[in-house]
Amino acid sequence: MTKVFKALTVAGSDSGGGAGIQADLKTFQELGVYGMSALTAVTAQNTLGVQGVYPLETEAVAAQLDSIGTDLTPDAVKTGMLFSSGLIRVVAGKVRQYGWDQLVVDPVMVAKGGSPLLQQEAVQALITHLLPLSLAVTPNIPEAEILTGMKIAGMADREAAARLIHAMGPRVVVLKGGHDEESAKVIDLLYDGESFTYLESVRVNTRHTHGTGCTYSAALTAGLAQGQPVAEAIQTAKAYIQAAIEDGLNIGAGHGPTNHFAYQNRLRGTRS
């Protein structure tokens, strides 16, 4: 019987469908992994911004994780929007309890339109409780600046930031380069504690990039769930998000979502 690979996302809901658990579950499905979710917050949002954030009680999050942990053991887990230090401590405790060692932390802090999605006091909780448990962490440049307290202006700064974040406990740091808009290429930096790998892609001139971070980390999680080595899973994730941005859906009046169908459509030789 063919093994069913399973992945769990612990994140917030995006009513617009472009980010959060909606993006994660779409990505898991497209990459052939059975997706599960534990909801941390409900957001009211669309391509124009976030109109409301409604975090769940810690007991509700813990109960969801127990439901998964006692029955549907995930092969890999990712976290997205965790919002508060209390939620972070609960999630970290359950990760330890169930021995989920293939953990991808996407340190979601600010929405595309600028709305905060992580309370300021929760940053230290993320560093203290969750990063030491992670296989990989996937910050963008602004998130890396918050985690390290340093200004990142060039590649040397990115490498220094990656070293600092690696020292916080994750085995692999993927420092994404999408926010370096002065570069004609998007260069993601992979650091495993010993060497740097640079993953390049063509920059796409579009405003429709809502949910790229969620989607990238979900694709990485899907690859890990299927047993891919980290380097291979990151290459797949990079190709997946590049296709999702290039073959845009062009919906919404603001920062629209990426195209979660695009990667598989390309493999089939079709375009949506």
211 is catalytic: yes
Report CA Rg, the chain.
17
Classified as helix, coil or strand, 126 is: helix
Among 9, 148, 209, 221, the active-site one is 209
176 is catalytic: yes
Residue 236 has what DSSP assignment?
H
Among 80, 177, 178, 213, the active-site one is 213
Among 47, 214, 238, 248, the active-site one is 214
Reported in sequence order, the residue ranges of the chain that DSSP labels E, i.e. its strands, are: 6-14, 34-46, 49-55, 76-79, 103-105, 136-137, 172-175, 185-191, 196-202
Q: Which H or E run contains 145?
A: helix 141-148
214 is catalytic: yes
Joined together, the tokens standing for residue 191 give 């650091």
Angle at which helices 155-166 and 141-148 cross, to 10°: 50
Q: Spell 136-167 as b/e; 16+ CB within 10 A means b.
A: bbbbbbebbbbbbeeebeeeebbeebbeebbe
Q: Give, in degrees to the nearest 5, the angle at Cα 219 between 113 and 190.
A: 85
| Residue matched to tokens 């296989």 | 135
| Residue matched to tokens 């010993």 | 194
- Residue 3, classified by CB atoms within 10 Å of its CB into exposed (0-12), middle (13-18) or buried (19+), is exposed
151 is catalytic: no
Among 17, 69, 178, 211, the active-site one is 211
- Residue 267, classified by CB atoms within 10 Å of its CB into exposed (0-12), middle (13-18) or buried (19+), is exposed
Among 212, 215, 221, 258, the active-site one is 212
80 is catalytic: no
CA–CA distance, 51 with 80 (Å, rounded to integer)? 19
213 is catalytic: yes
Among 6, 112, 176, 238, the active-site one is 176
Active site residues: 176, 209, 211-214
